[in-house]
Structures are given as C-alpha cells and as structure tokens.
Amino acid sequence: MAKVSSVNVDCATNGGAAAVWNLVNLLISNGWTKFADSDGTTYSSSGTQVTGPGSGANGLNNASAWVALRDPSGASGRKYLFQRGSADSNWWIRYVRSATLNTAGNSTTLPTNPSVANDLQSIHGTSSSGTLLFDAGGNYYAHAVYETTAAFGVYQFWMAASVKVTGNAAGGMLAMGLDTATVSGGLDQDPSFAIASSTSSWLSTGGLKFWNYYGLVSPAPAFVTSGVRFTPTPIATVNQYTGNDDAFPIIVVGISTQFPYKGQGDWARSAGVSRTYPNTINLTTDAYCYFAGGGFHLLVPWPENTTPQL
C-alpha cells in the first residue's frame, strides 16, 4: 500500500475551492480520471476545462463550477462529483457506485441519469447552490491523503481543513472501505462509507452515507443517509499496559431491521485518547494525525516526517 498526500496548503486566496482542488489534484495525479468538468461557464466532456482552484476561466472557484472524478478501477469504478455552490464554502458532493451517467452535464449542471437505477446519490448538499462544507473566509490549511491501493475494492481518501493558529476542524470528508465479510460473506458490492460535513461535523458518529444491499433485488437496495459509527469514549491517558495511545477500528452501523451492522475498517481510526490537531502518533514510521470536534476524536493517516501546520 502507498500513502500519498498534500497537506498544510494555505487556503487564504480561494478558500473551499482551494481545499477541494487540493484533493482533486492529488487524486488525478495518482490514477484517477477527471472525465468531465466545468468552470461555471464552459463545459468540457473530457474533463479538461478546470485546471486549478482560482476564479475566472479554468477555475474551480466560480459559482456552479464542478468536476467529475472516477477511481482507477475503470468505467464501472466509483465516481465522485464535486460542485461549488453560491460561495466557496458551499459544496454539493454526489456519489455513483458503478453506473454510467447517461445525461451529460453542462456549464452549471452535473451529469445525471445513471444506467443503474438510483445509483446517483448525494453525500453532502442537495442542489447546485451547495451546502456549507468549510468555514467562510479561507482562514485555514487544507489537507488531503489518499491510499493508492484499494482496500476491500475501495480507494480510500480524506480531506479536511484546520483553522490557523487554533487547529480546530473547519470541515472535511472521509471515504473509506469496510470489511463486510461477517455480514455478507464478502458479497457486499459496495463495502464502503462516506461522510462530509462542515466544521467539526465530518468527525461525527452520525450522518454516514452508504449502500445496504447494493446489487440485490430482495431486499431492495437502500442508500443509508443516517448511519453511525461506534466510537469509544476517549480517555485522558495512554493505555496502561502498553504506554501507547489506543486506536480502534471504525465500526459502521446502518438504520435497518436487517443487518444493521455494515462492517468495520481501520484506515482511519477512532482515537482512544483525548488529543487534538496537530498531535500525531508514529510520525516517522506509520503516521496518524488527530482531529477532534463535537466530542469525537478521529485518527487519520498522515504523511511521515511532516509536521501539521498551525
């Protein structure tokens, strides 16, 4: 497995557009395809119009500008669509598990009409006007980390913003693979979840999005929008046996009368000790960084030998 990253990126000029572009550029530099895009005025069916985070021609920081990405597994791979809303802090993020989008987008509209019914779902926001994802004003640093080897068939990534000086979480997104074998015997066709939300809410145990029964006829597939993850209560001290911080797998549960347990993963982890950004563990070998907000603590993969910026 190979971890690649772009962290400590100053977002003073383009705010949320700089944060999203930081992730987009990291992904397309490491095997992802930007298959369509628009700078809010000019549409490209080949994804060549948006080339940076700025405003004006070729920029992502314009009302209704958008990019559509596909993971390295090919035409049937997962797709993520990011559209800037009425301000650089507002975004609409959509997700496609495997379908082709049969109706092309245009200068202000995302592609639609998936070849698999209901396969186009929203991870964050509900329309092109967007929903608050990042703090306004751009007074933060952006971070993005991507795992180039798929886990359970899922290419994992996270992005977040941390407020300058304080280090408080200022919005972000996590997309991660899950081991669902104990539920589906390894037959789950979408062993993953995603969460994206403003300020510290992206760390929350609630609001996870994922498919239950994807690809089945009965029960019918259901896109869960209010899933939760079990989180241990962080303590003030290290593990009394090992002297180290504890880090627990993320256990994901849906709201369902059947198979409410979705699975678990350990790329990002629930933290067992009450620490906040910019604290890290194993910075020289297998680095993780703490983010905290809303009473929850998360450990996310971090580049080795790189100090988180305040």
pLDDT at 280 over 90: yes
Cis ω on the peptide bond leading into residue 191 (within 30° of 0)?
Answer: no
Q: Which pLDDT score is estimated for 183?
A: 85
For 261-281, letters b (16+ CB in 10 Å) and e give ebbbbbbbbbbbbebbbbbbb
Q: Is 115 helix (H, G, I), strand (E, B) or coil?
A: coil
Q: Which two structure tokens, joined as six digits, stand for 181?
A: 């074998």
Distance separating alpha carbons of residues 310 and 301, to the nearest angstrom: 18
Give me the pLDDT at residue 200, please. Answer: 85
Confidence at 49, pLDDT banded by 50, 70, 90: very high
Position 158 pLDDT exceeds 70: yes
pLDDT, averaged across the chain: 93
* Tokens of residue 47, six digits: 């994804």
**Which residue in 105, 98, 97 sits closest to 35, CA to CA?**
105
Contacts 24+ apart (CB under 8 A), 277-281: 277/162, 277/167, 277/168, 277/169, 277/308, 278/162, 278/167, 278/307, 278/308, 278/309, 278/310, 280/308, 281/244, 281/245, 281/247
DSSP-derived letter for residue 203 is G
Assess contact for 197 and 123: CB atoms under 8 A.
no
Contact status, residue 249 vs residue 266, Cβ threshold 8 Å: yes
Q: What is the pLDDT of residue 257?
A: 58
Residue 165: is its pLDDT beyond 80? yes
Does residue 256 surpass a pLDDT of 70?
no
The pLDDT of residue 235 is 77
Q: How sure is the predictor about 239, in pLDDT bands with cuts at 50, 70 and 90?
A: confident
How high is the pLDDT of residue 70? 98
Per-residue pLDDT tens for 79-134? Answer: 999 999 999 999 999 999 999 999 999 999 999 999 999 999 999 999 999 999 99
Closest CA to 223 of 269, 192, 197: 192
Question: Among the listed ranges 50-64, 210-224, 234-248, 249-263, which one has the minimum average pLDDT value?
Answer: 249-263
**What percent of the chain lies above the pLDDT cut of 70?**
98
Q: Closest by alpha carbon to 143, among 300, 307, 8?
A: 8
pTM of full prediction above 0.85: yes
